Chains A and B, each alone.
Chain A
Amino acid sequence: MKVMTMHAAIRDLVRDGDTVALEGFTQLICFAAAHEIIRQRKRDLTLCRLTPDLAYDQMIAAGVCKKLVFSYAGNPGVGSLQAFRRAVEKNEPRALELEEYSHFGMVGRYIAGAARLPFYPVNSYVGSDLPRANPRIRQIQSPYGAEKIYVVPPLNPDVAILHAQRADKNGNTQIWGLTGVQKEAAFASQRVIVVVEELVAESVIRADPNRTLIPDLIVDAVVVEPFGAHPSYAQGYYDRDNAFYVEWDTIAREAATLDAWLDEWVYGVENRAAYVAKMRARLEKLKPGDAFAEPINYGEYR
């Protein structure tokens, strides 16, 4: 049985020292899983993501992260990540090792990881100082012409944690809206946890197979966690809580206020359901209006 609680999924599938990709590009960022990782006080994780944002700032502040592999560590639309800055600039609460790329570099790393390729070539990094800052970005001679091209190494996390709108009990997972690198991160990783807003019947998935990004074949755990991506969003389910992203800049500015926030909203709640109950009034306001797609006809062929 793959359907399990977040507590069990994180306990059984995330190990101290693991390389973890908790992906999501602005939408479908699984804060519920990040908070459970903090509650279970995992140690020495290498955290990967294109856009480490508030969930990663919280994990860095809580001391679970040893190394960050990334391409943009900011509070999107607001500014900098304050806990990330303290870790890099002042080694507080602990030193943070960095392995830094651009978005296309990270995308290429996941593609190579998912397809089990030795490297991935990108027409980027020319003239940039990034290859000097990160010697794993290398330039090679094209075997087919005179040009040189930069390559990045594959990324194969121990575990990927991916939020989605819905899945069936076997783990066939459907996502709409921004899909980021959810698919590539899943195929690149050794273990996969999917966290969904809704568990649906297998027939619902099979009625619309084009929308299935992650097949049950590679999924180890399915966790059902409504509002599990808040303050990020799930297209069609709830909006991004932009106000919280702005508030976080103030909360995270001092270690003391950040720790007090973790005490109240992470350590101080047993699980996501408790967080949702405590946050209920605010969450209700994030429900969007409806914008349905026209149904399409797959046809019946007997």
Chain B
Amino acid sequence: MNYSQNELMIAAAARELHGARVAFVGVGLPNIVCNLAQRSHAPNLELVYEAGVFGAKPARLPLSIGDPTIVTGAASVMGMPDLFQYYLQRGLIDVGFLGAAQIDKFGNINTTVIGDYKKPKVRLPGSGGAAEIAVLCGKILVITRLGKRAFPERVDFITSPGHLDGGDARKNLNVRGRGPEAVITDLCVLRFAEDTREMTVTSLHPNVTRDAVQANIGWAVRFADQVETTAPPSAEELRLIREELDPQRLYSR
């Protein structure tokens, strides 16, 4: 069956939510990923939106993360102070699913500026809730397309901390959550080495070469001893993406 690299990326990312109970849904691609997971292998996955919703059951794919469809039929809708204090800071969220304009070797995410903060080349939207999601969720999953500018060795600005300088840096700062666990891209899946916390390619998508991956990463990337081949999307996953979640093909073309 034919599928696009984006469809493969979205399906592979949704599978990473296997076994998760409560997921904090970030803006953009994480939104379609978490909704796909809820409609396929994880029907009991509780979706939390920073807009103030716990237990969303969106009837359509929300374009924004404050779409009215996340309210109707939800388990609970509340003000943002309750959401951030009692759900996120209280420690009730297993997984935070984030996008990233830039992500570096140790999983630090930049959504603030390209270049200098005071005189930016490109001004990006900023943190939103990501700075606290990155430190207060049990773990973090990231979905973003591979590219040299998106994967620099060090980000220009750490909006949302990953493993900082690597090794025990995160633990030494007493950051609560475990930090980034996997980065799902359109060419491969990367995970973080146990000791160094360096981003490492663990799975290549079908027909993608190591050279193609390296050409899109801004440092000499490591490959795991056993690099797997990512499973392609199933017919059901493709149907859900194409017919239910993204009929206009905004994310999955």
Question: Interface residues, chain A, CB within 8 Å of chain B?
Answer: 25-27, 50-51, 70-74, 76-77, 80-81, 84-85, 88-89, 100-105, 107, 110-111, 122-130, 133, 147, 176-184, 233, 235, 239-240, 242, 245, 288, 291
Contact = CB atoms under 8 A, between A and B. Distances in A.
Contacts of A127: 134-135, 158, 161, 164, 170, 173, 175
Nearest to B132: A124
A51 B134 CA distance: 19
B63 A123 contact: no
Nearest to A51: B128
Contact of B136 (A76, A123, A235): A123
- SS class, residues of chain B in contact with chain A: loop
Interface residues of B, number: 54
Interface of B: 27-28, 31, 50-53, 62-68, 71-73, 77-81, 84, 88-89, 112, 117, 120-132, 134-136, 157-161, 164, 170, 173-176
17 contacts: A26-B51, A50-B80, A72-B125, A76-B63, A77-B63, A103-B132, A122-B132, A123-B132, A123-B136, A127-B134, A127-B164, A127-B175, A147-B174, A179-B77, A181-B81, A182-B79, A291-B72
B135 A103 contact: no
B125 A74 contact: yes
A25 B27 CA distance: 13
Query: 3 closest A-B pairs (Cβ-Cβ)?
Result: A26-B66, A127-B161, A74-B125
* Residue of A70, A102, A245, A288 with most partner-chain B CB within 10 A: A102
Given A26-B64, A128-B160, A180 B51 contact: yes
Nearest to A114: B81
A100 to B, nearest CB: 6
A103 B157 contact: no
B227 to A, nearest CB: 30
Contacts of A122: 89, 132
Nearest to A289: B72
Contacts of B127: 71-72, 100-103, 128, 130
Contacts of A184: 79, 81
Given A127-B135, A242-B63, 8 more contacts: A26-B64, A73-B123, A89-B120, A89-B122, A102-B132, A122-B132, A129-B117, A130-B131
A242 to B, nearest CB: 5
Contacts, number: 172
B132 A177 contact: no
A126 B28 contact: no
Nearest to A179: B79
Contact of A126 (B27, B124, B175): B175
A101 B112 CA distance: 11
Contact of A240 (B53, B63, B158, B159): B63
A240 B128 contact: no
A123 B64 contact: no
A114 to B, nearest CB: 9
A228 to B, nearest CB: 16
A179 B121 contact: no
A104 B68 contact: no
Nearest to B124: A80
A89 B126 CA distance: 14
Given A74-B126, A126-B161, A107 B64 contact: no
A76 B125 CA distance: 9
Contacts of B170: 127
Contacts of A129: 112, 117, 157-159
A88 B125 CA distance: 11
B126 A73 contact: yes
